[in-house]
């Protein structure tokens, strides 16, 4: 059977491409090697990890500890079954929604492992060994990634795990070692730390999350160490052993030994391209199983074959993968493609959240742009005080020459939601005047935008009477916000 587009993988990139192509009137087949659609994002990645995070924050009462103390708990003894109950409900809902979207748009799906027989011919081997042959006018590879599992690590699925093992049957260990301080490692390390599990984070490099503004990372590290997490930077693991009690021993190159009941190895992922038979269609993956594409069109070196999502590498975000899938489908069938925005947000669902858009302070310096920063602490806002927030901050960076917003960096509760205000202003070319001259709902965490902007404005050179008058109008509002926060703080004391 012949299709105008065959999509291999039904994660964020695959689903968006399939639906976009179907809306253009094309015949579309989606091949998924799991028995239910959704890809890595739904089954072992984005949705499960974020659901686990939300479950932990709710059951531990994490958000209320600013008022009731670190000993506060909603549920005293939290077990694996508590974590798994909400997880299954969420996954079932996500899959149901996705299946409905495919049906409504006339996208056909088939379960099985896809393999190229030629540039336009794909064989799909079903769960019972049956083989179906399809012809494709165009193909999108969106198979995602799998955890990197070096042979030197004795994975056993019980106490030495990768991220897929961890989420498939979550449980609460007495202690946890996480090897790898990438996004996945950081998220799981902080989630289990919020459960009051002693966590040790090991990273061979001297820094982590290098794409995030360093001031935000410094604040993040301070919060993690303040709650007892051990962070071992510049520490390379020589080997992992299992002791007589079945606990994992991480032996570092400098001789240190770190013992924990459970070990999560989260040092990288590889593209899931091995079963595809790429040699039969003229493609070759790199050493990490990733494919190279044209960054504008998402075409591989074989023009009718596209690739999108995690399989093409950084940034490996569900949000960007969806957009890549849409762009690939539009280009494949000659549909108009509006230019991509200059900046998109990153969200790291750690505890606390981190989100960023635009340039970091380090990048601004490297570009030689004269700038000024403004900082707002969430505890300075009335809403932050109402919520019992003791940490969290927002950092805005503005160019001195034209006063444009250059970057927004947030750590703390609702960071991944708040970032979109800054994203809109940044991509629309807005300046500091937007934040200073507009009214924000009160009390909200979004007021931090105005506080941070005014903090920067106080140190920026005055350009003309208009800007000065705008500042004069804004200062009473800033004084009112600070007075209100101080009043609440005094009452609480």
49-69, pLDDT tens digit by residue? Answer: 999 999 999 999 888 888 888
**Euclidean distance between CA atoms 487 and 493, whole angstroms:** 10
Sorting pLDDT into bands at 50, 70 and 90, what band is 472?
low
> How many Cβ atoms are within 10 Å of 279's Cβ, its own excluded?
9
Q: What is the pLDDT of residue 436?
A: 94
Which of 33, 26, 21, 37 is CA-nearest to residue 3? Answer: 26
**Euclidean distance between CA atoms 86 and 103, whole angstroms:** 26
**Euclidean distance between CA atoms 14 and 32, whole angstroms:** 10
Q: What confidence tens digit (pLDDT) does each residue in 282-301 have?
A: 999 999 999 999 999 999 99
Q: What is the pLDDT of residue 452?
A: 97
Q: What confidence tens digit (pLDDT) does each residue in 416-443 have?
A: 999 999 999 999 999 999 999 999 999 9
3-state secondary structure the chain: CEEEEEEECCCHHHHHHHHHHHHCCCCEEEEECCCCCCHHHHHCCHHHHHHHHHHHHHHHCHHHHHHHCCCCCCCCCCCHHHHHHHHHHHHHHHHHHHHHHHHHCCCEEEECEEEECCCCEEEEECCCCCEEEEEEEEEEECCCEEECCCCCCCCCCCCEECHHHHHHCCCCCCCEEEECCCHHHHHHHHHHHHCCCCEEEEECCCCCCCCCCHHHHHHHHHHHHHCCCEEEECCCEEEEEECCCCCEEEEECCCCEEEECEEEECCCEEECCHHHCHHHCCCCCCCCCCCCCCCCCCECCCCCEEECHHHHCCCCCHHHHHHHHHHHHHHHCCCCCCCCCCCCCEEECCCCCEEEEECCHHHHHHCCCCEEEEEEEHHHCHHHHHCCCCCCEEEEEEECCCCEEEEEEEECCCHHHHHHHHHHHHHCCCEHHHHHHCCCCCCCCCHHHHHHHHHHHCCCCCCCHHHHHHHHHHHHHHHHHHHHHHHHHHHHC
**Euclidean distance between CA atoms 184 and 188, whole angstroms:** 6
Which of 429, 266, 450, 327 is CA-nearest to residue 17? Answer: 327
User: Is the Cβ–Cβ distance between 384 and 392 less than 8 Å?
Assistant: yes
User: For the ranges 81-90, 140-149, 357-366, which has the lowest average pLDDT?
Assistant: 81-90
pLDDT at 148 over 60: yes
pLDDT at 208 over 90: yes
**Euclidean distance between CA atoms 389 and 376, whole angstroms:** 13
Mean pLDDT, the chain, rounded, equals: 91
Specify the pTM: 0.88
Cis peptide leading into 7, omega within 30 of 0? no
Sorting pLDDT into bands at 50, 70 and 90, what band is 84?
confident
Q: What is the pLDDT of residue 145?
A: 94
User: Is the Cβ–Cβ distance between 44 and 36 less than 8 Å?
Assistant: no
> How many Cβ atoms are within 10 Å of 92's Cβ, its own excluded?
11
Which two three-digit tokens encode residue 181?
């301080």
> How many Cβ atoms are within 10 Å of 266's Cβ, its own excluded?
24
Q: What confidence tens digit (pLDDT) does each residue in 247-260 have?
A: 999 999 999 999 99
As a whole number, mean pLDDT of residues 142-161 equals 93
The tally of CA atoms less than 13 A away on the side-chain side of residue 315 is 20
**Euclidean distance between CA atoms 367 and 353, whole angstroms:** 28
Sorting pLDDT into bands at 50, 70 and 90, what band is 74?
confident
Q: What is the pLDDT of residue 316?
A: 87
pLDDT at 447 over 90: yes
**Euclidean distance between CA atoms 25 and 380, whole angstroms:** 53
Diameter of the chain measured on Cα atoms = 76
Which of 258, 262, 266 is CA-nearest to residue 238? Answer: 258
User: Is the Cβ–Cβ distance between 354 and 166 less than 8 Å?
Assistant: no
**Euclidean distance between CA atoms 346 and 132, whole angstroms:** 39
Residue labelled with tokens 């531990």: 60
Q: What is the pLDDT of residue 421?
A: 97
Q: What is the pLDDT of residue 337?
A: 81
Q: What confidence tens digit (pLDDT) does each residue in 325-380 have?
A: 999 999 999 998 877 778 999 999 999 999 999 999 999 999 999 999 999 999 98
Q: What is the pLDDT of residue 473?
A: 59
As a whole number, mean pLDDT of residues 80-109 equals 90
> How many Cβ atoms are within 10 Å of 472's Cβ, its own excluded?
9
Which of 240, 182, 173, 178 is CA-nearest to residue 210? Answer: 182
Higher pLDDT, 43 or 119: 119
Residue labelled with tokens 């937007």: 434
Q: What is the pLDDT of residue 478?
A: 66
Which of 228, 249, 213 is CA-nearest to residue 366? Answer: 213
């Amino acid at each position: 059977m012949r299709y105008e587009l065959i999509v291999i993988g039904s994660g964020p990139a695959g689903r968006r491409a399939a639906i976009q192509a179907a809306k253009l009137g094309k015949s579309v087949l989606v091949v998924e090697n799991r028995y239910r659609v959704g890809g890595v994002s739904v089954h072992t990645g984005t949705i499960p990890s974020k659901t686990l995070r939300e479950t932990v924050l709710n059951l531990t009462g994490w958000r209320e500890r600013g008022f009731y103390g670190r000993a506060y708990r909603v549920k005293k003894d939290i077990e694996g079954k508590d974590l798994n109950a909400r997880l299954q409900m969420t996954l079932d809902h996500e899959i149901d929604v996705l299946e409905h979207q495919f049906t409504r748009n006339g996208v056909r799906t088939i379960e099985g492992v896809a393999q190229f027989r030629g540039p336009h011919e794909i064989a799909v081997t079903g769960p019972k060994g049956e083989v179906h042959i399809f012809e494709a006018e165009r193909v999108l590879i969106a198979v995602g990634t799998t955890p990197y599992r070096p042979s030197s690590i004795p994975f056993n699925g019980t106490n030495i795990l990768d991220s897929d093992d961890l989420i498939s049957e979550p449980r609460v260990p007495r202690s946890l070692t996480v090897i790898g301080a990438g996004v996945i490692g950081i998220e799981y390390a902080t989630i289990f730390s919020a459960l009051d599990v002693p966590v040790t984070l090991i990273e061979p490099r001297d820094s982590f999350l290098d794409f995030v503004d360093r001031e935000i990372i410094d604040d993040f590290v301070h919060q993690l160490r303040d709650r007892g997490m051990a962070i071992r930077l510049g520490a390379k693991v020589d080997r992992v052993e299992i002791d007589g009690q079945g606990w994992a021993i991480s032996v570092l190159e400098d001789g240190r030994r770190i013992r924990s009941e459970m070990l999560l190895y989260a040092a990288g992922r590889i593209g899931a391209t091995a079963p595809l038979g790429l040699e039969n269609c003229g493609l070759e993956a790199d050493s990490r199983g990733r494919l190279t594409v044209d960054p504008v069109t998402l075409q591989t070196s074989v023009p009718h074959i596209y690739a999108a999502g995690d399989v093409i590498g950084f940034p490996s975000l569900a949000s960007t993968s969806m957009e890549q899938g849409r762009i690939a489908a539009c280009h494949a069938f000659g549909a108009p493609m509006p230019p991509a925005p200059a900046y998109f947000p990153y969200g790291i669902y750690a505890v606390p959240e981190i989100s960023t858009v635009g340039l970091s302070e380090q990048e601004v310096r490297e570009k030689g742009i004269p700038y000024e920063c403004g900082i707002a602490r969430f505890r300075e806002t009335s809403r932050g005080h109402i919520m019992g927030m003791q940490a969290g901050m927002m950092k805005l960076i503005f160019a001195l020459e034209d006063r444009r917003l250059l970057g927004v960096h947030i750590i703390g509760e609702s960071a991944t939601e708040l970032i979109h205000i800054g994203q809109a202003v940044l991509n629309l070319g807005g300046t500091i005047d937007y934040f200073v001259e507009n009214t924000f709902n009160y009390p909200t965490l979004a007021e931090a935008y105005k506080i941070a902007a005014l903090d920067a404005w106080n140190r920026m050179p005055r350009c003309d009477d208009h800007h000065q008058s705008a500042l004069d109008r804004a200062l009473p509002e800033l004084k009112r916000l600070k007075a209100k926060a101080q009043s609440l703080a005094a009452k609480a004391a």
